[in-house]
Structure 1
Amino acid sequence: MAKESSFDIVSTVDMQEVDNAFQQARKELAQRYDLKDSGAEISLDKSAGTLTVTAPADFVASQVIDVIGSKLIKRGIDLTAVKWGDSTPSSGGGVRRCATVVNGIDKETAGKINKDIKAQKLKCKVTIEGDKLRVSSPSRDTLQEVIAFLRGQDYGQPLQYVNYR
């Protein structure tokens, strides 16, 4: 009997690349003519995985977010991995927007992925292991079909397929 093949579905972001994009965006804020003396600032908390933009107005905050987004894309980070919150008033009449970097698959999304795979009626087994899912099947072709199916779906965060054996 053939042994079982498997792969893991994970959602991870390289925080070093986020830090590099943050540093580049900070430099661009200091050099760009329209943002240089606007009072806009960005900060990164690597341990908590949060980005914070402080700006004098919503328009300026959205400009800074666009700059950060372009730097993240250049660094190979999917923008769906960054969840921006709503604008909140900050001291001095400005606004503050916070973003969290999504790392791991939460239980709700994992359950939805599991349900969608089962709805395809493929001969495979899905197990939820913490913040990742393991899909196993005797047929490698079935695993390829699962990956192709999941690439066509949108779960609000980037998915990676690792440990394919």
Structure 2
Amino acid sequence: MPSFDLVSKLDMGEMKNVVNMAQKQISGRYDFKGSNTSIDFKGEEALEIKASDDYKMTAALDILRQNMAKRNVGMRSIDPQDIEPSGNQMFKQTILIKAGIDKEQGKKINKAIKESGIKVTSSYLDEKVRVQGKKIDDLQAVFQYLKSHKDVVVDLQMENMKR
């Protein structure tokens, strides 16, 4: 029986390239001159944007998202938090990097698959969801359905396709 695994993973090498490209664009833009706006990694789970005002903060986040789109890094893999003052007339925003499918998200994905009406079965297995069906077309239809579903808030990839 054909099957595949739904996973949510992020290529950290690509994400580093995205951050470097965004930082280079920020340092070259006229409206950022002398503002000390920066995007930095805070470990493997988060990014931090520092800027002197709200406008520069949102512009830096937009630049980051544009570069993610250029490098085919999923937009759903980041979760911007609230902007907060960091002292010295600067603001900071933490951006969480999401990878993996947790139990709650796995339940939502399973529920969405059942609601779709496509004749497949699914089960949550340790940060991935295995989908099985009789036809490969049904499996591909489920994948396309989940990529556009409103309850799925992680970036999904198809892995380990078996015929």
TM-score of the alignment, normalized to the shorter chain, above 0.5: yes
The CA deviation at 1:142 is: 2.9
1:32 paired with 2:56, answer no
- Helix, strand or coil: the match of 1:130? coil
Q: CA RMSD in A?
A: 1.6
Equivalent-residue separation in structure 2 for 1:29 and 1:149 (angstroms): 37
Query: Aligned-pair distance for 1:145?
Result: 3.0
Q: Kindly report which structure 2 residues correspond to 1:13-92, keeping only aligned pairs within 5 A, or say none.
A: 13-45=10-42, 47-92=43-88
Describe how 1:5-16 pairs up with structure 2 within 5 A.
5-16=2-13
Q: In 2 relative to 1, CA 140–97 (structure 1 residues): closer, same or farther, beyond 3 Å?
A: same
Unmatched segments (≥5 aa) in structure 2: none
Q: TM-score with structure 1 length normalisation?
A: 0.89
1: CA distance, partners of 2:52 / 2:143 = 45
Q: Deviations over 1:20-62 (max 9, x none)?
A: 01111111222211112112122113x4231101111111111
The aligned length equals 161
TM-score (norm 2): 0.90
Shift of 1:140: 2.6
Rounded Cα–Cα distance in structure 2 between residues aligned with 1:64 and 1:156: 23
**Which deviations, in whole Å up to 9, do the C-alpha atoms of 1:79-117 show, x marking residues without a partner?**
221110001110202111010111011211110110121
**Alpha-carbon deviation of 1:63?**
1.1
* Residues 82-161 of structure 1 mapped to structure 2, 5 A cutoff: 82-154=78-150, 155-161=152-158
